[in-house]
Amino acid sequence: MFKNKSIKIIFKATVGLILFLWLVYTIYHQIKRQPDLKNTLQTMYSSWDMYKLGMLCLVFILMFLNWTVEAKKWQQLMLNTERISLGKSLQSILTGVAVSVITPNRIGEYMGRILYLRNPNKIQGITVTIVGSFAQLIITGFAGVIGLVYYLVVVKQLLWLYFLLGASLLLLLGLSYLYFHLQRFYKLVERFSYFRKLKVYIEVVQRFGRTQLIRILLLSLLRYFVYTVQLVLLMKLFLVNINILSLVHVIWLIFWAMAIVPTIAVVEVGVRGETAVYFLAPLSTNYVGILSATSVLWLINLIIPALIGCLFVYKMKLYDDDQD
């Protein structure tokens, strides 16, 4: 038994170390390839003062709040399946982030989280994670639609944006209906023998009550608010001088555009920067500042938590007899 336990510890530590080194290597090359990196660093250094240092510190504080809210949401999602402490929830979230950065659209986040659960709950944990993602996507989508309408009315009218608006509304109405009628979805699947194999995966959705689903949405909204404030602060920090009303609405549009574009997180920084520049270009010519703000947000909110998450890989439950 001791030998087996030692092998598990060595295996987990090795996986964590490999993931950590791979992330560091990838991050180094991503940052190295950033356009105008030297000019950005010089601009930051030359214009640095205590006020801007305070803004940057606040962005870091909000990063911890961001992932703590997500951990609270995961705890709420698992309420009817497996009771977990907030600390354990945060560890599983950060491990999921570490795994997610090397997978398309961060689907690896599901695997990172469920490996903290007991074996009987791992399958249902996947479905629970998807429900949480639906909640975050609904909030991102509705805010994105508000931002899109504002963009079309105030900033710039483009034909393809009208198509995006129509498609977004249809998608969000469908997602919202599904989110608040999970029991009906389960009963529908149960009727068709072809889909009954999925029953074990989705029966957990029957346990979600409307009050619990609303709580999950509110936590998603709080996290979205935190994320918005972070990017606003970073835009101001890098001298992107746009009035706050326009900036917030366009940021919502950028977040929505990023949510529906398939990417891998480790190469996401370039896509985020290009998307932000595209939508903010009519409002600001400080492209270096826009790229810098999105890059720093990516680094603070995703990469730093992913590196921390590598340290918790050893806590994953490969078997039910693994110790916390």
Say if 261 falls within a structural domain. yes
> Which pLDDT does position 8 carry in this prediction?
58
Average pLDDT over residues 73-91: 87
- pTM here? 0.83
Round to whole Å and give the CA distance between 91 and 85: 10
Q: Rounded to whole angstroms, how far apart are CA atoms 124 and 46?
A: 52
Gap between the Cα atoms of 103 and 268, Å rounded: 11
Residue 237 lies in a domain: yes
H helix intervals, 78-193: 86-100, 108-114, 119-150, 159-180, 182-191
Q: What mean pLDDT is predicted for residues 60-81?
A: 92
Beta carbons within 8 Å of 63's beta carbon, 6+ residues apart: 230, 300, 301, 304, 305
pLDDT at 155: 92
Q: Which of 268, 310, 311 is nearest to 23 (CA)?
A: 310
d(CA 120, CA 178): 26
245-292 pLDDT, tens digit each: 999 999 999 999 988 876 544 445 566 778 888 999 999 988 888 888
Say if 185 falls within a structural domain. Answer: yes
**How many domains does one find in the chain?**
1
Beta strands in 217-319 (DSSP E): none
Please give the pLDDT value at position 50.
Answer: 80
Convert the pLDDT of each residue in 227-252 to its tens digit. Answer: 999 999 999 988 898 999 999 999 99
Query: Is residue 56 domain-resident?
Result: yes
129 inside domain: yes
Local structure of residue 194 (DSSP, 8 states): G
Mean predicted lDDT score pLDDT of the chain: 80
CA angle, 24 then 27 then 32, to 5° = 125
The verdict on residue 9 lying in a domain is: yes
Task: Report residue 318: phi and psi, to 5°.
Answer: -75, -30
In a domain, 320, yes or no: no
- Measure Cα distances from 52 to 4, 76, 116 in Å: 52, 36, 39
Residue, of 3 and 181, whose pLDDT is higher: 181
Q: What's the token pair of residue 16? A: 């964590």
pLDDT at 312: 72
> At residue 169, does pLDDT exceed 90?
yes
* Best CA proximity match to 239, nearest among 298, 299, 293, 300: 293
- Write down the number of H helices and E strands in the chain: 14, 0
pLDDT value at residue 119: 72
Q: Is the pLDDT of residue 323 over 50?
A: no
Phi, psi of 104 (to 5 degrees): -60, 135
pLDDT of res. 31: 60
Say which amino acid occupies 171: L
**Angstrom distances, CA of residue 234 to CA of 52, 71, 298:** 9, 24, 11
User: Angle between the 86-100 and 2-32 helix axes, to the nearest 10 degrees?
Assistant: 60
Would the pLDDT of 314 be above 80?
no
pLDDT of residue 117: 80
Answer yes or no: is pLDDT of 160 > 50: yes
pLDDT digits (tens, 9 = 90+) for 100-157: 776 665 666 777 777 778 777 777 888 888 889 899 999 999 999 999 999 999 998 8
Q: Six-digit token pair at 46? A: 């030359």
For the purposes of burial, counting CB atoms within 10 Å of the CB of 105, is it exposed (0-12), middle (13-18) or buried (19 or more)? Answer: middle
Beta carbons of 168 and 141 less than 8 angstroms apart: yes
Name the DSSP class of 241. Answer: -
Closest to 91 measured CA to CA, from 205, 14, 12: 12
Domain around 114: 2-27+37-315
Q: Single out the residue of 287, 282, 228, 285 nearest to residue 258, CA to CA.
A: 228
Would you state the pLDDT for residue 287?
A: 86
Segment 171-212, tens digit of pLDDT: 999 999 989 988 777 676 667 665 666 666 677 778 888 999
Residue 131 lies in a domain: yes
Structure tokens at 259: 């949510």
